[in-house]
């Protein structure tokens, strides 16, 4: 053929094909570059984020630890109740920390030890022998001998959770029981130590097992993939997310060790839910489900926890015990087949009963009134973000025995005094403090146990009635112008104040007693005599005394203040009577004892602060009258029920139209304030004696309040005075006398002094006849 006759080829056909291939290669190259950039980005982010991994940790709030020692006012029932609350198990033989046994009047226990703000409390074996409601003696084993003091670990009472609701107790790998690690490896990722983040063999094995079973019985994700999913990814089920998960797992394994990855998994994995609180990590799960630490759990209990990551809600042992046991047994079977446990260990663990808590421990719901006071105290030094995220450990002054006993008594005690004439539902508030330190031991914001509404103990600001009178009488006694035998006028009076209407006070029962002794006027709460005294002392001096006792707001300068026309919350009243119980030494009420980091390093120690604001001699004279309130005055009705605890000191209080019923009193160990009233400020039908006193008595009797044993100052002398003051110019009658304490230079007026009448034996008999 002639070449010239050949058909000409299209000049552009080959270049166009080559051009198409070029575009494909270009796109492929760009895709590979994008993928490489994506991988680099993932690698960078994984290294950055995992190295900086730091969980938001809630603040943990602890109650006051129970301290036991020879002579301590602690009963065997109180000790065993606290041990059970802490998750101790009763056992016939003590083999491990967290166990106890009882035998007659003896309790033997093996404590766990705890890292307190002031140092570590070691784990100890100790025998405690009781004599009634007191500890007789304590001893350990042959090595330790007699044990002087044991401080149990404190109970956790509340959390201040981060915004995401997650809660965990971080733990290092060396503190995790080997059985738990082996159980997790066996059931979740048996090739964990040999794969590189993604396990193709595991994926194939899971696929075959699932096809054979006709359902999903195994997962193909490695522990590393699960960790990545929990830390960085959402729940979206797409190919892109699965690819991202695999790449992240590869990057994690490339830069971090297996131990680092496993530690993060053990702390991150979700294992349960309690309301808006998410339980993360195995250390917290052990406490949540068993009230015990990981190292105290048995093989069967560890296997149960290891089975939860598959579905913490579905296998929740508190709600679905059968499912939980079935899953636990699957874990045990895997451990046996992979050689982690022996056949006898497998059989023993498989036969073990389920021993989880019957219900989840309460958090943030048990003591809301006390917790509100704690938050107020913490707000002075810590912002809200630090409390929610930094894992602070906050040690409080709450005494669980006092709080729970008070709560168990309060509702029935209020019911017993509630009157049909009351127009509303009678409410209550209670504050109990330590008589020496000012530490708040218990708070109730309402009559109902665990009431979480309006906190009346802190926020119900009401007139305090006759609870103000000790401040009036103390100001008088300290002035040096008055003694317990000073004669006051209990007669009608009308007082006029600038800018206020005329005021004509009266006694509660409208009786008039005429001339009365100062101590008698306080003991029997005589209003007219108190006004007489207060006007002589001066309203400014009474207001100053209230400030010295601890009242921080301004006191109005009206005569009605002398009878309690000053508004206070129960916690403010508790501060006043705390200073009285402290013999004139004011210790600010406090709820927080110390704050530490999550690992125990001290951050803040709130020690006892005390200041003498009243001389002890004047306080001793006042307390004679406050004890007389029980002996001869408005609290006499409580004598029979509190006989074993007497002497005690206290004061009743009632406000106009019976709107408020108050009682404040103290012994050697406790100060207690009780308020009763209606939220609408209507008539309760109760006086301080018929309402609050009876509730206070029921609570303090249940707490076995200790008698008030006040040592008289060295300069106090006792003198005999006529039983009643001279009236209408009559001669003193020293045939009947009473003995009262006085200070040198402030002896009784000759008109009532009987010290020089009669024989020495008569005076001696009269003096001791009052005891």
Could you give the residue numbers annotated as active site? 188, 466
Rounded to whole angstroms, what are the CA distances from 52 to 46, 48, 49, 123, 361? 10, 6, 5, 34, 32
Q: What's the angle, vertex CA 116, arms to CA 369 and CA 135, rounded to 5?
A: 80
Q: 719: burial class by Cβ within 10 Å (0-12, 13-18, 19+)?
A: buried
Instruction: Check if the beta carbon of residue 619 is closer than 8 Å to that of residue 584.
Output: yes
Rounded to whole angstroms, what are the CA distances from 376 to 118, 152, 383? 24, 27, 11
Three-class SS state of 73: coil
Helix axes 321-337, 343-351, angle to 10 degrees: 180
Buried b (16+ CB within 10 A) or exposed e, 635-669: bbebeeebeebebbbbbbbbbeebbbbbbbbbbbb
Residues 6+ apart with CB under 8 A from 405: 699, 702, 703
Instruction: Check if the beta carbon of residue 445 is closer than 8 Å to that of residue 546.
Output: no
Residue 611 CA to residue 588 CA, distance in Å, equals 9
Q: What's the angle, vertex CA 151, arms to CA 149 and CA 152, rounded to 5?
A: 140
Three-class SS state of 243: helix
Closest by Cα among 82, 286, 64 to 169 = 286
Instruction: Check if the beta carbon of residue 258 is closer than 8 Å to that of residue 192.
Output: yes
Closest by Cα among 615, 614, 618 to 518 = 618
Closest by Cα among 265, 259, 283, 276 to 168 = 283
Number of other CB atoms surrounding residue 385 within 10 Å: 11
Buried b (16+ CB within 10 A) or exposed e, 165-200: ebbbbbbeeeebbebbbbbbbbbbbbebeebebbbe
Query: In this structure, is the dihedral angle defined by the CA atoms of residues 179, 180, 183 and 189, taken in order, positive or negative?
Result: negative
Residue 146 CA to residue 126 CA, distance in Å, equals 9
Residue 62 CA to residue 397 CA, distance in Å, equals 9
Strand positions, DSSP E, 362-413:
393-396
Which three-class secondary structure string do you get for 107-165?
EEEECCCEEECCEEECCCEEEEEEECCEEEEEECCCCCCECCCEECCCCEEEEECCCCC
Which three-class secondary structure string do you get for 542-566?
HHHHHHHHCCCCCCCCCHHHHHCCC
Instruction: Check if the beta carbon of residue 426 is closer than 8 Å to that of residue 723.
Output: no
User: Phi/psi zone of residue 616: left (φ > 0), alpha (ψ -120 to 50 degrees), beta?
Assistant: alpha
Closest by Cα among 214, 253, 357, 239 to 43 = 253
Dmax (CA) for the chain in angstroms is 168
Tokens for 222?
């490695």
Instruction: Check if the beta carbon of residue 582 is closer than 8 Å to that of residue 435.
Output: yes
Instruction: Check if the beta carbon of residue 728 is closer than 8 Å to that of residue 699.
Output: no
Residue 140 CA to residue 127 CA, distance in Å, equals 6
Which three-class secondary structure string do you get for 625-657?
HHHHHHHCCCCHHHCCCCHHHCCCEEEEEECHH
């Amino acid at each position: 053929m002639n070449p010239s006759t050949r058909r000409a080829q299209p000049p552009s056909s080959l270049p166009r094909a080559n051009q198409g291939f070029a575009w494909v290669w270009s796109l492929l190259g760009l895709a590979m570059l994008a993928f490489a950039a994506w991988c680099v980005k993932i690698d960078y982010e994984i290294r950055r984020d995992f190295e900086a991994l730091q969980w938001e940790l809630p603040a943990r709030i602890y109650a006051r630890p129970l301290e036991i020692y020879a002579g301590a006012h602690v009963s065997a029932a109180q000790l065993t109740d606290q041990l059970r609350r802490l998750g101790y198990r009763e056992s016939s033989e003590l083999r491990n920390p967290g166990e106890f046994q009882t035998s007659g009047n003896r309790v033997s226990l093996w404590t766990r030890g705890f890292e307190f703000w002031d140092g570590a409390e070691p784990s100890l074996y100790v025998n405690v022998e009781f004599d009634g409601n007191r500890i007789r003696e304590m001893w350990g084993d042959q090595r330790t001998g007699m044990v002087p003091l044991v401080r149990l670990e404190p109970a956790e009472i509340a959390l201040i959770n981060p915004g995401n609701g997650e809660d965990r107790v971080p733990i290092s790998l060396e503190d995790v029981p080997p059985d738990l690690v082996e159980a997790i490896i066996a059931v979740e990722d048996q090739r964990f130590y040999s794969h590189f983040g993604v396990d193709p063999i595991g994926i194939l094995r899971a696929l075959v097992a699932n096809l054979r079973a006709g359902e999903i019985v195994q997962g193909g994700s490695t522990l590393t993939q699960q960790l990545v999913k929990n830390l960085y990814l959402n729940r979206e089920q797409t190919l892109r997310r699965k690819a991202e998960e695999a790449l992240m797992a590869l990057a994690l394994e490339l830069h971090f060790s297996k131990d680092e990855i496993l530690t993060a998994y053990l702390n991150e994995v979700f294992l349960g839910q309690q309301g808006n609180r998410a339980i993360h990590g195995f250390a917290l799960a052990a406490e949540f489900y068993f009230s015990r630490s990981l190292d105290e759990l048995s093989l069967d209990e560890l296997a149960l926890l290891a089975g939860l990551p598959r579905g913490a809600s579905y296998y929740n042992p508190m709600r679905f015990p059968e499912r939980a046991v079935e899953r636990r047994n699957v874990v045990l079977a895997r451990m046996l087949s992979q050689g982690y446990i022996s056949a006898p260990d497998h059989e023993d663990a498989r036969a073990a009963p389920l021993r989880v808590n019957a219900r989840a421990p309460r958090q943030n719901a048990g003591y809301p009134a006390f917790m509100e006071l704690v938050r107020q105290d913490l707000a002075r030094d810590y912002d809200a973000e630090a409390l929610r995220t930094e894992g602070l450990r906050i040690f409080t002054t709450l005494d669980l025995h006092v709080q729970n006993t008070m709560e168990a008594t309060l509702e029935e005690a209020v019911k017993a005094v509630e009157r049909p004439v009351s127009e509303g539902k009678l409410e209550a508030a209670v504050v109990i403090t330590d008589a020496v330190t000012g530490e708040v031991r218990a708070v109730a914001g309402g009559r109902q146990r665990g009431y979480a509404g309006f906190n009346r103990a802190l926020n119900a600001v009401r007139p305090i009635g006759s609870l103000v009178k000790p401040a009036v009488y103390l100001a008088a006694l300290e002035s040096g112008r008055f003694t317990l035998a000073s004669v006051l006028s209990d007669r009608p009076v009308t007082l006029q104040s600038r800018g206020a209407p005329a005021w004509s006070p009266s006694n509660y029962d409208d009786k008039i007693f005429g001339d009365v002794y100062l101590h008698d006027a306080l003991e029997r709460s005589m209003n007219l005599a108190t006004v007489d005294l207060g006007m002589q002392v001066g309203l400014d001096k009474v207001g100053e005394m209230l400030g010295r006792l601890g009242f921080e707001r301004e006191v109005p300068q009206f005569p009605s203040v002398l009878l309690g026309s000053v508004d206070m919350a129960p916690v403010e009243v508790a501060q006043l009577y705390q200073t009285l119980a402290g013999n004139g030494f004011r210790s600010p009420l406090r709820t927080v004892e110390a704050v530490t980091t999550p690992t125990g390093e001290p951050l803040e120690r709130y020690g006892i602060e005390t200041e003498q604001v009243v001389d002890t001699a004047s306080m001793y004279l006042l307390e004679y009258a406050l004890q007389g309130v029980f002996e001869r005055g408005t609290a006499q009705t409580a004598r029979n029920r509190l006989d074993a605890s007497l002497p005690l000191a206290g004061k009743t209080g009632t406000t106009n139209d019976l709107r408020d019923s108050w009682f404040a009193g103290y012994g050697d160990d406790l100060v207690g304030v009780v308020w009763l009233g209606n939220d609408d400020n209507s008539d309760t039908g109760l006086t301080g004696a018929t309402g609050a006193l009876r509730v206070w008595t029921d609570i303090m009797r249940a707490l076995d309040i200790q008698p008030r044993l006040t040592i008289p100052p060295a300069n106090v002398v006792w003198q005999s005075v006529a039983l009643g003051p001279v009236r209408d110019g009559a001669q003193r009658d020293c045939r009947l006398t009473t003995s009262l304490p006085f200070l040198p230079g402030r002896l009784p007026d000759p008109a009532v002094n009987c010290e020089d009448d009669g024989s020495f034996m008569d005076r001696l008999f009269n003096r001791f006849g009052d005891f």
